[in-house]
Structure 1
Amino acid sequence: MQRIDYNHKTIAELLTLNGALRDIFILGSTLDDWNNVLHGLKNSDYGLDFLIDSEPAELPHNAEEIFKIENSKTLRVRQDNIFFNSYFFVDSEIDFDIDPRDFVAFEQGEDLVNFMRFLSNLTNKPCILTPELDQEYILMKILPNSSKIHV
């Protein structure tokens, strides 16, 4: 991986439409990491929607409560027209998916970088962007408290 400064063109290339979503991961996560993310999101300017079986519901206070819910659950984080979606599959990885079609303006790549940096700083762990369902192929990596992007 090469270290670069932020570059709109590079981010746009990572979001090139090919029909697949992209995944954002914090691997090796704990319930404490999830709780830090939930707390950070609740206190941020991001819009939040929590759904149980596709129906709006109140966002529980902590991750433990969310993982106890047996029905399907989704946390949608909104930044303008961009949606970062988490489905709480396992507590050992924080996972959000994004649809490259949401990124309609060239400059919106910055929103992706800012969200990944936000997650990385909240957990103090690296945040990676991968093709859908492929954790081995890292498209971009952001380290905690770093201004650099690794692609």
Structure 2
Amino acid sequence: MTINWEEIKWIFKPDGAYRDIYVENVSIQEWKILVDYLNNNHIIKFGPTGKNKIINKIEKKYVCELLIDEAKELECRTASILIEKIIINTHFFYDKEIEFDIDPIEINSANAFKNIINFMNDISKILGRKVILTGEFPLVEVDFKNEILKALTEKEAEKLWK
């Protein structure tokens, strides 16, 4: 299935909020798979939140320790994945859920949207899980294994808002 940019560009209308991409019910093993995939396939910037000590690979061992650090004593780090002019951020908050965020301002063309869909599809493929892009509610769903690619239309969203 393909998605017509003209029918879904409303999803990326800037409203001051980021759009989130989620993979739910994951394990540390899936985080490891994800980190390997990101390091091997994308331009990465990884480092402490708000500091300048940035490296070009996600430190898998540190991330695994961070995700299970219940006392939250380790310094939080952020990874930014660069795809053309799009920055996709992930913050290592929770071991059972992978969360990325994107600024909708950067998704301003069919090509930019295609890059996001390809990214979501790759994540779905390597993890064998459904990947969802959300705003106030799920907007785009990708499930590689079950060959699902669907997006909420603006009319469907209006019904949900009511």
- TM-score class, shorter-chain normalisation, is 0.7 to 0.9
Q: Identify unmatched segments of 5+ residues in structure 1.
A: none
Once the two structures are superposed, residues 1-37 of structure 1 have per-residue CA deviations (whole angstroms, 9 ceiling, x without a partner) of: xxx5232223422211111110000011111111111
Q: TM-score, normalised by structure 1?
A: 0.84
* Map of 2:158 onto structure 1: none
Whose radius of gyration is greater, 1 or 2?
A: 2
- Residue-pair matches, total: 143
Whether 2:44 is the aligned partner of 1:48: answer yes
Q: TM-score, normalised by structure 2?
A: 0.79
* Map of 1:79 onto structure 2: 83
* Map of 2:117 onto structure 1: 113
Change (3 A) 1:146 1:14: farther
Whether the 8 Å contact between 2:121 and 2:144 is mirrored in structure 1 is yes
Q: Identify unmatched segments of 5+ residues in structure 2.
A: 152-162
Q: Percent identity?
A: 23
Q: Distance in 1 between matches of 2:99 and 2:129?
A: 13
Of 12, 17, 36, which aligns to 1:15?
12
C-alpha root-mean-square deviation of aligned residues, in Å?
1.9
Residue 66 of structure 1: CA displacement? 4.1
Of 124, 127, 132, which aligns to 2:131?
127
Q: Tell me which of the two structures has the higher relative contact order, counting C-alpha pairs closer than 8 angstroms and 6 or more residues apart.
A: 1
Aligned structure 1 segments of 4 or more residues deviating by more than 4 angstroms = none
